[in-house]
Amino acid sequence: MNSNIIQHITSCRLPTEYGVFQMHGFVDTRSNQEHTALVMGDVADGNAVLSRIHSECLTGDALFSQKCDCGAQLQAAMQAVQAEGRGVIVYLRQEGRGIGLINKIRAYALQDQGLDTVEANLALGLPVDARDFSIAKYIYEHLGVQSVRLLTNNPEKIQTLRDCGIEIVERIPLKVGENPENIGYLNTKADKLHHLLKD
């Protein structure tokens, strides 16, 4: 593991509605950004591990916003890991596709005026998606994870991880959380960001 990139700081037991996880705290030494991983079962036994790489979404994960499907995806991933009794959820602190909470709220305001998520970011002079999924590689290495069965709809995430040398043996769709408020958002993810949401 490249200890110059990621440092494991501490761990604790985390009982949740979806079972008991071991929670690990990491710091990315390049950005000083804090990340976490929720682990259930033995994930270092050499077998492919059920995993979700989830980017922080305060509005969806904690405030139950219906503008996105993020909270539903996180809950579905935790349920899937619980059902299997083994897995890893890497939680990356990359709010608003990496633009931060305040800019995300600004983008939401533009969406209220009719722009889609891509148009809103661009109107603010921000990247469409500034997230860096490569940090997951170093978290996986620390945990002893060698290959994953990835819960995702995002082909860019898959490609980034493969480019980093992470073996993805299976992609598992995560189509949850659709509601009348986020239909346009989901269509934009499918049509402009090429997320695998349509049959």
Q: In sequence order, what are the residues at sequence separation of 6 or more whose Cβ sits closer than 8 angstroms to the Cβ of residue 42?
A: 86
How far apart are alpha carbons 88 and 38 in whole angstroms? 6
Catalytic position from the list 28, 69, 106, 131 = 131
171: annotated active-site residue: no
Question: Rounded to an integer, what distance in angstroms lies between the CA atom of residue 29 and that of residue 162?
Answer: 22
Is 84 annotated as contributing to ligand binding? no
> d(Cα 185, Cα 46) in Å, to the nearest integer?
38
Q: 160 labelled as ligand-binding?
A: no
- 33 in a labelled binding site: no
Residue 99 annotated as binding site = no
Nearest partner of 51 among 94, 2, 86, judged by Cα = 86
Which structure tokens are listed for 105?
A: 């709220």
Query: Is 52 marked as a binding-site residue?
Result: yes
Phi then psi dihedrals of residue 68, to 5 deg: -135, -175
Among 61, 129, 163, 199, the active-site one is: 129
Is 106 annotated as a binding-site member?
no
Helix (H, G, I), strand (E, B) or coil at 158: helix
Strand spans (E) along the chain: 6-16, 19-28, 33-40, 49-55, 87-92, 147-151, 167-172
- Which tokens is 154 given? 């995002």
54 known member of a binding site: yes
Alpha-carbon distance of 199 to 197, in angstroms, equals 7
Residue 12 annotated as part of some ligand binding site: no
Was 29 annotated as part of a binding site? no
Q: Does the annotation count 131 as an active-site position?
A: yes
Q: Is 164 annotated as a binding residue?
A: no
Whether residue 68 is annotated as binding a ligand: the answer is yes
Pick from 133, 130, 131: nearest CA to 148:
133
Please report, in range form, the residues annotated as the binding site for Zn(2+): 57, 68, 70
Q: Which residues carry out catalysis?
A: 129, 131
Please report, in range form, the residues annotated as the binding site for GTP: 52-56, 73, 95-97, 117, 152, 157
Please report, in range form, the residues annotated as the binding site: 52-57, 68, 70, 73, 95-97, 117, 152, 157
